[in-house]
Amino acid sequence: MLEYLYNQRPSGKITLGLDRIKQLCKMLQNPQDSFHSAHITGTNGKGSVTRFLSWLFIEHGLKTGSYYSPHLSTFKERILVDEEFVPEQMILNVFNDVQKMAVQMDQMGEQFKPSFFEFTTAMAFLIYKEMKTQATSIEVGLGGRFDATNVLRPEVSVIVTVDYDHMHILGDTLEKIAFEKAGIIKQGIPVVCGESKKEPLDVIEKTCEMNKSDLYLIGRDFFYDNTKLSLNDNHFDFHGKREFKNLKISLNGEHQFLNASVALQAFLVFAERMNLKVEEAAIRRALEKAKMPGRFEVFGKNPTVIFDGAHNLPAARVLRKTISDYLSNEKLAAIIGIVDDKDKRGVLSQIAPLFDKIIVTRPFSHRAQNPQETFEIAKQFNENVDFEIDPIMAYEKLKQEGYETIIITGSLYLVGYLRDYITDGSLEPEWSIVR
């Protein structure tokens, strides 16, 4: 199945438009209409918000689907039910159903061939229908307006943040990027937004007005304060549709207070629309249970390894702040790999000066063909930089040099690859398939 998806439905192929996914879903009898959903986009934070929302649904007794991209180690991470892997036989059955329809569409011409993401999105929707989910938390893959997930009509739409990323597709100004993300806003469907910069907000507010959609803004309609940071034990107060004191989240970084608050406000909007009783104890359990692999995730001792996929400039700024908040006095080493279509100079300017030692390596991705370029840029921001093309060799070298804290960052492909090796002692067989 995966050989087919990666090679026959290549993930690097992006053809804008919703016609293919609409047709594919129609041929599958529109499974996306069988469940209620929250639809989440944002330059950064959308994965964490999706996870928080999923747990909020689960802890309120709803059978819950959640959809993520990209995955770190295994394809199964993308499509979860109650935050657990879907049985493999179910995945294979649904794959066969979608493939039959996709092949029919292929015969209509090149422009009708469903892409990797369209195919997997249809699989997710069909799985959620087959497994009778009641609520789903659906993360946008890229942008919003033309993303395959945008065939949903959710109970609430969420725009977490708007910043510079994927500019070759989404546009080179914040207004253009906001326009693409605001494309998930539907007529009469409320919107929760965690962005506060004027340029994108003007676009989002105008789109909400055009669609007669209520807009809940951070800093105006909901906010958080009284924050306390400690590794894996972070606390804040929330003020919005309801007020909650001293909520705990396990996810690390000050930015996670924003993500948790956006998710909580979106959940309260969802609950109001669905006449769902809100339980404070369930909210507390959900926020604490939410974990996000590869987002300032702390593992082990001697060395302590921190996995963080700071893959663009805004995420690199967040990583710099998070290191300052939690690790300001520690001696740190890093393994960094960045794919070629990212802002390497921007990312490295933020994080490279933070480390006593850096080894630059190659992420395990077809989008990382020039790691030597990353190495040359890194040397401009740090005097102690080595190059090792093999990520595992890079990690073993740093271990031998006795660093007590190693941060693995840059591409999520690198984070996922080394996370497998370090936490499990082996690699998922899927790494042998071209990504």
**Per-residue pLDDT at 365:** 85
Return the structure tokens found at 350: 């933020």
Cis upstream peptide for 70 (omega within 30°):
yes
How does residue 434 score in pLDDT terms, banded at 50, 70 and 90?
Answer: low
Rounded Cα gap, residues 138 and 124, in angstroms: 10
> What's the mean pLDDT when you consider all of the chain?
94
pLDDT tens string 179-223? 999 999 999 999 999 999 999 999 999 999 999 999 999 999 999
pLDDT tens string 221-230? 999 999 999 9
SS (H, E, C) 273-328: HHCCCCCHHHHHHHHHHCCCCCCCEEECCCCEEEEECCCCHHHHHHHHHHHHHHHC
Which residues, in sequence order, are CB contacts of 343 under 8 Å at separation 6+?
A: 164, 312, 313
Question: How much of the chain is helix, strand and coil, in % rounded to 5?
Answer: 45, 20, 35
pLDDT tens string 52-80? 999 999 999 999 999 999 888 899 999 99
Q: Please compute the mean of the pLDDT values over residues 413-429 and round it to a whole number.
A: 90
Percent with pLDDT over 70 in the chain = 98
**Model pTM score:** 0.93
Domains belonging to the chain, first-starting first, are 2-289 (3.40.1190.10), 297-432 (3.90.190.20)
Backbone angles phi, psi at 44, to 5 degrees: -135, 150
pLDDT tens string 219-258? 999 999 999 999 999 999 999 999 999 999 999 999 999 9
Strands 405-410 and 304-308, sheet pairing: parallel
Beta pairing partners, 306: 298, 407
**Per-residue pLDDT at 424:** 85
Rounded Cα gap, residues 53 and 55, in angstroms: 5
Which residues, in sequence order, are CB contacts of 110 under 8 Å at separation 6+?
A: none
Backbone angles phi, psi at 306, to 5 degrees: -120, 125
